[in-house]
Amino acid sequence: MAVRFLSPEWAEAFKAALNADPAFREGIAGQRVRLQNVITDVDGGEVRYWVRVEDGVVDLGLGDIEAPDAVVTQSYATAVAIAKGELEQVSAFMTGKLRVSGDLIALMGLQGPFASFPEIMASLDVEY
């Protein structure tokens, strides 16, 4: 069954897929970060979701996380392009399509595992 991108069902499915991927779990081992994501231009508003990495496990949900280490802001079009593997996160950052505030160093430690997001997302039936 397809899940709509950025819906509660997507958040649960993506979290499960991330935690089921051994390479991703190995890549986040020893990392601790609380990340707030803000997706703009979603049906005239925004969607906020958070990612928490701790003890080799990722937790993810819609809404806001308390005391994020960093906040990542991007448009819906950019988020979709990254999720589909059509745009790399680093390229989006370098061209200003993805903005980061907060602890950039914490995010750099997760650059490798987070680069696998499109591959893991491709394992899901996502409706954009």
Q: In the chain, pLDDT over 90 holds for what percent of residues?
A: 87
Closest CA to 61 of 99, 16, 98, 97: 16
Domains of the chain: 3-122 (3.30.1050.10)
Q: What is the pLDDT of residue 111?
A: 87
State the average pLDDT over residues 36-57. Answer: 96
Question: Which pTM was predicted?
Answer: 0.92
State the average pLDDT over residues 19-33. Answer: 95
Residue 90 token pair? 């680093």
pLDDT, tens digit (0-9, with 9 covering 90-100), for 59-70: 999 999 999 999
Q: Is 86 exposed, middle or buried (0-12, 13-18, 19+ CB in 10 A)?
A: exposed
Does the structure show a pLDDT above 90 at 108? no
